[in-house]
Amino acid sequence: MSTQKDTIEFIIEQLGDSKRFSARAMFGEYALYADGKVVALVCNDQLYVKVLPASEALEHVCDKDAPYPGAKPHYVVEENQIAHMEDLPDILFDIAKSIPEKKKTVKQKK
């Protein structure tokens, strides 16, 4: 079962800052970006937030599960939590800040 576009629109609307949050389709599911960095996945209409020190505030309020077979566990944020968890955008921005910038590769001249 793939994620519905309505689910992505709902999540981004609830997060509140559509300029800093975005999503991209990937194999019928979505990656959720904060400030251009992947901070969560949306699989089967469910939000899965990366487990990192920056997301430890979710430890006691969310269960953990893998978004797809073979994946590392993520925090599962339920629909009612998305709508009522006021600090969720800040947690996602903290995750984005903690992820290192991509290293630019320099092509060698032949």
Q: Which domains does the chain have, with CATH numbers?
A: 5-98 (3.30.1460)
pLDDT, one tens digit per residue, over 21-38 is 999 988 878 999 998 899
32 within 8 A of 41, measured Cβ to Cβ: yes
- Residue ranges of alpha helices (H) inside 16-102 are 79-84, 88-98
Q: Which one-letter amino acid corresponds to residue 23?
A: A
Average pLDDT over residues 32-49: 90
Cα Rg of the chain (Å, integer): 15
The pLDDT of residue 32 is 92
Distance set, CA 23 to CA 5, 56, 66 (Å): 10, 23, 19
